[in-house]
Structure 1
Amino acid sequence: MPQIVFLPHPEHCPEGAVIEAERGETICDAALRNGIDIEHACEKSCACTTCHVVVREGFNSMEPSDELEDDMLDKAWGLEPDSRLSCQAVVADSDLVVEIPKYTINQVSERH
């Protein structure tokens, strides 16, 4: 079972976290299942960028992003070459190291 290492984030996981992920689930679903309350204002429908993450290790193990995700990512704060929307990035067989950016463009936090 692959692991996802979340780097420390002052709000979502101040100490960082190492979680087990199931192959075929999204980074967002794995995070939420393990108590990391990553924002997902559009309910994981690829219609916003609040779940934007940067995959620091293991990026190439995942299926590439599609055109819709790429279009949404263009609007994300702090976009990097290894950025993904965590609601769309599906875990494969490799471990991942993920950073949650400091900011999102979300004006209001829904706190699911």
Structure 2
Amino acid sequence: MPRIKVLPHAQICPEGAEFEVEQNANLCESLLNNGIKIEHACDMSCACTTCHVIVRKGFDSLEEMSDVEADLLDRAWGLEPDSRLSCQVKIVDEDLEVEIPKYTINHASENH
């Protein structure tokens, strides 16, 4: 079974985390099911960017993102070349290492 390694995040998971998931599992659901309280304001319908993650390892094993996801990611805070919306990521057969950005667009808006 593939393993997910979550890098430490000061508020969401200060110690980081690592766990196994079923093949073809959804990344956002897997994070939530393993106690990682990632935001998902649109209920995982690919209508916001609050579940944005950076895939540090295993990015090339993921299916190509849709145009809708790519357009939404353009609005994500802290966008990087290996950014994805976790609600749109299906975990195939390779381990992933993910980083949850320090802020979401909701946090950035609240501070202005």
Q: TM-score if structure 2 supplies the norm length? A: 0.93
Deviations 1:29-82 (A, max 9, x none): 100010110000000000000000000000010101010000100000010000
Is 1:6 matched with 2:6? yes
Is 1:104 matched with 2:99? no
Alpha-carbon distance in structure 2 between the residues aligned to 1:80 and 1:105: 14
The count of corresponding residues between Structure 1 and Structure 2 is: 107
Q: How does 1:1-112 map to 2 (within 5 A)?
A: 1-106=1-106
Alpha-carbon distance in structure 2 between the residues aligned to 1:12 and 1:25: 21
Which runs of 5 or more residues in structure 2 are unaligned? Answer: 108-112
Counterpart residue identity of residue 2, structure 1: P
Which runs of 5 or more residues in structure 1 are unaligned? Answer: 108-112
Higher share in helix: 2
Q: TM-score if structure 1 supplies the norm length? A: 0.93
Alpha-carbon distance in structure 2 between the residues aligned to 1:58 and 1:46: 21
Alpha-carbon distance, 1:96 to partner: 0.3
Alpha-carbon distance, 1:21 to partner: 1.4
Detail structure 1 runs of 4+ shifted over 3 Å in the superposition.
Answer: none
Q: CA RMSD in A?
A: 0.7
Alpha-carbon distance in structure 1 between the residues aligned to 2:36 and 2:9: 10
Alpha-carbon distance in structure 1 between the residues aligned to 2:98 and 2:74: 19
